[in-house]
Amino acid sequence: MSLSPQFLDELRSRITLSAVIGRTERVIKAGREFKACCPFHHEKTPSFTINDEKGFYHCFGCGAHGDVIRWMTDQRGLSFMDAVKQLAEEAGMEVPAPDPRQAERAVKQKSLHDVMAAAQGFFVDQLASDEGARARAYLASRGFGTAVCREFGFGYAPEGRQALKGALGAFPEPMLIEGGLRIVVDDKEPYDRFRGRLMLPIQDARGRVIAFGGRILDKTKTDAPKYLNSPDTPLFDKGRTLYNHHRASAASRRTGRLIVVEGYMDVIALAAAGFEEAVAPLGTALTETQIEMVWRMVDMPVLCFDGDAAGQRAAMRAITRALPLLRPGHSLRIVTMPEGQDPDDLIKARGPAAMEEVLAGAQSLLDTLWRVERDAAPTGSPEEKAGLKARLMAHVETIADPDIKALYRRDLLERFSDFAFPRREQAPWQPRQQAPRGPQNRRFGRDLPPPLPHEETAARLRRPANPFRAATIEAVLTGLARCPQDIARHAPALARLAREDARCDVLLDALDEGAPLESGQMATILARKGWTLGADAPRHGMHFAFLSGSGEAASAELADVIAVLAEKPEVERALEEWKYRDISTDAEWLEQQRLLTRLRDLEKRELDLKARLGQMAAADGIIAQEAAGFPTEAANSKMAE
């Protein structure tokens, strides 16, 4: 949207810059100007000046400079248009609408904001009523005082199915439904979405209420989720919203730090302990959009995850989503909480100093990637070590920035080399008789230059997902939809397959939300994200037990199919890299041979899967050891003689 210079000049002239800055900073009159300690860097003597006549601020310490719009974007973390809209509202000006349709949307959103503000007022009033006594008792048990409850806008939704409608009678029913406050099912009477819950407002970057989150208070209600958020609406998109964004944005500029935790109750516990620079995603793993949002606040946000298996999965998924977005100077730091504790537990047990200690020990994204992948699976055998290397290199390939990609590759390969080939004590050096050089003395061909990649092999590795893989992944998704209890078991493999089919990510998101997964729900969960299962799955000729039955046999077959889909590309990548290495030890040669054996085994299992799909012609896809360009055991023995 383009705004005229005349409009922006008029907006600046109507706003007093010192008054806007004075809302968050302590300003002191100094002649015709104002002074303050610069909020963009730490200082004890004020060097930050504000000139209302000229309409700009300037710091002589760090060079920060700008007008009132720049202040709102740099210090408050708003986008340009959000800053203009908020300032225009304060100045009593209307932001020009570019066309009638956008103007209509703006009016509609404004009316929905009115609905959400009215609902927030209702929930706050209910918390103070007799019916809100249980919610107040819960807040007291969490140690949240009156000031914290008022700051974060806690409220209470009463049990009645029509309570909110009665309180918001001034607004039409369709507007309450569109705002996510009421639910309509078929031809039945609509009812309130939030009932008997402790309520929290979810606000946008400008501090306006756009959605709600509710925590159940009755522990006997096991058929309802513990936490319930508003659905996506014209105001609210959970993948593009961070809880506490509007408060943490300003706080992060004072501290130079941003903490990303798993839930909004963690944010409030941290704020109550003095950590105001905390945000949280809303029921999903951190999305690409949210990563960009936190990078607009600080260059190196700290992601804080629980120490359990779910927390580690969330950390790994955040890493895989961040890797393609990495750019110079921007990354993530990762903190893993002590086992069985979240930030609130740690602060209650050991105080804010313990939380500071944990945050000070944050690991880099690179260190966390290495640690999680190294510990994700056994690494006792050469095949398992090669699998670790293949997983690491697969992550590296997703990095878009060429410099960062090269640095990650080098660092991870060095770590892998130190891990897989630890230094051994060697006997003292003894001179040996020089033997005549000749082909027979070139053991394992190490005097020869590395062979060029086989043309057919290189082409095969470059090919995108083929129809066989697409059909088999479709079958796997159908099987998991029938048996969703197996999703957690195969979460690491599904995270790798998500690069080929985004529906795997949707299943993992559903797993991370913590609600029990039922087979009848999976199609609905996929549909909410705009996905469906293939209409022809299971198709004719796919005789997999997990497509029609259940039990141990079906689960075992499903695990076998997923292993072929997820592991075979990694083994192929590992072997492709071996072809460029100068094999200098027996251990390296044996590892290569065992990788080849593993590849043959996976290809045989893949061939069996193709046979079930009626694709026996794919048998020629098995690559023999000689055709792959690797020296055979017999050939190496002959060369060593």
For the four alpha carbons of 259, 263, 264 and 265, in that order, the dihedral sign comes to negative
Query: What does the alpha-carbon distance between residue 17 and residue 51 come to, in Å, rounded to a whole number?
Result: 8
Q: Position 55: which residue type?
A: G
* Whether the predicted pLDDT of 107 surpasses 70: no
Which of 114-118, 435-439, 475-479: highest mean pLDDT? 114-118
For residue 78, give both structure tokens: 């708003």
Instruction: Record the tokens describing residue 634, joined without a space.
Output: 């017999």
Cβ atoms 46, 56 nearer than 8 A: no
What per-residue confidence (pLDDT) applies to 497? Answer: 85
pLDDT at residue 330 tops 90: yes
> Are 266 and 344 spatial neighbours (Cβ–Cβ below 8 Å)?
yes
Do the beta carbons of residue 23 and residue 86 sit within 8 Å?
Answer: no
Q: What is the residue-averaged pLDDT of the chain? A: 81
Measured distance CA(301)–CA(298) in Å, rounded: 6
Angle, helices 5-14 vs 80-91, to 10°: value is: 50
Amino acid letter at 565? L
536 pLDDT higher than 80: no
Q: What percent of the chain has pLDDT over 90?
A: 35
526 vs 614: CA distance, rounded Å = 29
DSSP 440-473: GG-GGGTTSPPPPPPHHHHHHHHS---HHHHHHH
Residue 100's pLDDT is what? 61
> CB–CB of 517/484 below 8 Å?
yes
**pLDDT for 225-249, tens place per residue?**
889 999 999 999 999 999 999 999 8
- CA dihedral of residues 311, 317, 319, 323 (deg, nearest 10): 180
Whether 569 shows a pLDDT value over 90: the answer reads no
593 dihedral zone (left: phi>0; alpha: psi -120 to 50; beta): alpha
pLDDT digits (tens, 9 = 90+) for 267-296: 999 999 999 999 999 877 889 989 999 998
Domains of the chain (ranges, CATH numbers): 5-91 (3.90.580.10), 100-236 (3.90.980.10), 459-621 (no CATH)
Residues 535, 528 contacting (CB under 8 angstroms)? no
Whole-number pLDDT of residue 429: 46
Helix, strand and coil content of the chain, in percent to the nearest 5, comes to 55, 10, 40
Three-state SS annotation for 474-519:
HHHHHHHHHCHHHCCCCHHHHHHHCCCCCHHHHHHHHHHCCCCCCH
- Highest mean pLDDT out of 120-124, 279-283, 463-467, 506-510: 120-124
pLDDT at residue number 175: 92
Whether residue 493 has pLDDT greater than 80: yes
Tokens representing 516 are 């029990």
Residue 194: pLDDT over 70: yes
The token pair that represents 342 in the structure block: 């979240």
At residue 219 the predicted structure's pLDDT band, cuts being 50, 70 and 90, is confident
Q: Is the peptide bond before 484 cis (omega within 30 degrees of 0)?
A: no
For residue 470, pLDDT over 50 is answered with yes
Contact 480, 508 (CB under 8 A): no
pLDDT band at 185 (very low <50, low <70, confident <90, very high): confident
Summarize the confidence of residues 33-53 as an average pLDDT.
87
Residue with tokens 């008792």: 137
More confident residue, 307 or 118: 118
Q: List, in order, residues 6 or more apart from 597 with CB less than 8 Å away.
A: none
Cβ-proximal residues to 427 (8 Å cutoff; 6+ apart), any chain: none
* Residue 576 and residue 444 in contact, taking contact as beta carbons nearer than 8 Å: no
Task: Report the pLDDT value the prediction gives residue 4, as an integer from 0 to 100.
Answer: 74
Among 120-134, 283-297, 487-501, the range with the most confident prediction by mean pLDDT is 120-134
Mean pLDDT of all residues in 4-13: 79
CB atoms closer than 10 angstroms to residue 91: 13
Lowest mean pLDDT segment, chosen from 138-152, 301-315, 353-367: 301-315
Q: What single string gives the DSSP state of each residue in 347-384?
A: HHHH-HHHHHHHHHTPEEHHHHHHHHHHHHS---SHHH
pLDDT(14) > 60: yes
pLDDT tens for 338-349 read 888 889 889 989
How many other C-beta atoms can be found within 10 angstroms of the C-beta atom of residue 418? 10
Question: Taking Cα atoms as reference points, which of 270, 298, 295, 266 lies closest to residue 281?
Answer: 266
Q: State yes or no: pLDDT of 431 exceeds 80.
A: no
227-229 β-sheet, strand order: 155-157, 197-203, 209-216, 227-229
- Return d(Cα 235, Cα 130) in angstroms, integer: 32
* Residue with more model confidence, 258 or 4: 258
Which helix (DSSP H) or strand (DSSP E) does residue 405 occupy?
helix 402-420
At 229, list the tokens. Answer: 């958020």
- Order of strands, edge to edge, in the sheet holding 33-36? 28-30, 33-36, 48-51, 56-59, 65-66
pLDDT digits (tens, 9 = 90+) for 79-94: 888 889 999 988 888 8
CA 367 vs CA 11, 331, 343, 378, 407: distances in Å: 48, 12, 22, 19, 13
Q: Confidence class of residue 440 from pLDDT cuts 50, 70 and 90?
A: very low
pLDDT value for 622? 39
